[in-house]
């Protein structure tokens, strides 16, 4: 391993630690803070990829999270499944860190929903007596296109849920993952149920 490789690994591990312990959810912010803490000033040449940080985060949680990480992940996935069942008419899909298993205590449960009108999701939450706020999320559709989509934030079993609402045909093409630049992995309620059964 070269000095550059060792430095990248150290930066990835520090970024992962910051994400796990301080609730930083943005890879870019975690990288910059890690570089600052380790006194790295020569920039992008040595900064780790998001996928390297995600791998380091998984390692960190295996080493230091143990049973408490498994318990919090199970709680987040249970809340996701409850939310998905409540919003089943919008074909919900779980995405992000809760699906990947790298969620921290500070991670939101992230869902993708599919509807003609975002207001119909809000109305469904009102019907079910679930307090929520309307949001907007910028999503990378492909390497060249970033677009804002409406969404809602609410809580289930004290877990924060952030749901982004795509048009119905959005189910056919997943946006680009901020981790590896590939189409985001999405899981249906049945797949989330299977993950919970495995655990």
pLDDT given for residue 39 in this prediction: 87
**Rounded average pLDDT over 12-20:** 91
* pLDDT value for 44: 59
* pLDDT for 158: 92
* Structure-model confidence comparison of residues 46 and 17, the more confident one: 17
Domain count, the chain: 2
- Supply the pLDDT for residue 181: 87
CATH number at residue 193: 3.30.460
| Residues 174 and 105 occupy one common structural domain | yes
Range of the domain at 131: 69-198
**Per-residue pLDDT at 175:** 95
For residue range 92-149, list pLDDT tens digits in order. 999 999 999 999 888 899 999 999 999 999 999 999 999 999 999 999 998 889 999 9
What pLDDT is stored for residue 45 in this prediction? 64
**120 shares a domain with 37:** no
Name the CA dihedral angle for 160, 152, 78, 104, rounded to a multiple of 10 degrees.
Answer: -40
Residue 92 lies in a domain: yes
- CA pair distance 69, 148, nearest whole angstrom: 32
Tell me: do 89 and 35 sit in the same domain.
no
> Tens digit of pLDDT for each residue in 42-93?
665 678 999 999 899 888 888 887 888 899 999 999 999 999 999 999 999 9
Mean pLDDT of the 156-165 span: 96
Residue 25 lies in a domain: yes
Q: How far apart are CA 160 and CA 109, in angstroms?
A: 6
Q: Are residue 126 and residue 43 in the same domain, yes or no?
A: no
Taking the C-alpha atoms of residue 118 and residue 50, their distance in angstroms, rounded to an integer, is: 30
CA distances from 37 to 13, 53, 109, 139 (A): 12, 16, 29, 30
Q: Do residue 93 and residue 128 come from a single domain?
A: yes
- Confidence (pTM): 0.85
Is residue 124 assigned to a domain? yes
């Amino acid at each position: 391993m070269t000095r550059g490789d060792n430095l990248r690994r150290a930066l990835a591990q520090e970024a992962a630690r910051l994400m796990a312990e301080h609730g930083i959810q943005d890879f870019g912010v975690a990288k910059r803070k890690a570089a600052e803490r380790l006194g790295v000033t020569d920039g992008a040449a040595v900064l780790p990829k998001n996928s390297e940080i995600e791998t380091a985060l998984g390692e960190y949680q295996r080493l230091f999270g143990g049973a408490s990480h498994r318990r919090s992940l199970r709680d987040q996935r249970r809340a996701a499944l409850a939310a998905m069942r409540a919003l089943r008419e919008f074909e919900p899909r779980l995405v992000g860190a809760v699906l990947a298993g790298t969620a921290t205590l500070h991670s939101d449960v992230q869902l993708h929903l599919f509807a003609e009108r975002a207001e119909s999701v809000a109305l469904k939450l009102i019907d079910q007596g679930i307090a929520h706020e309307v949001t907007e999320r910028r999503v990378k559709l492909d390497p060249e296109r970033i677009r804002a989509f409406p969404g809602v934030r609410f809580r289930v079993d004290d877990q924060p849920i952030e749901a982004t609402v795509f048009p119905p045909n959005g189910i056919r093409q997943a946006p680009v993952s901020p981790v590896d630049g590939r189409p985001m992995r999405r899981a249906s309620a049945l797949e989330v149920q299977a993950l919970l059964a495995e655990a």
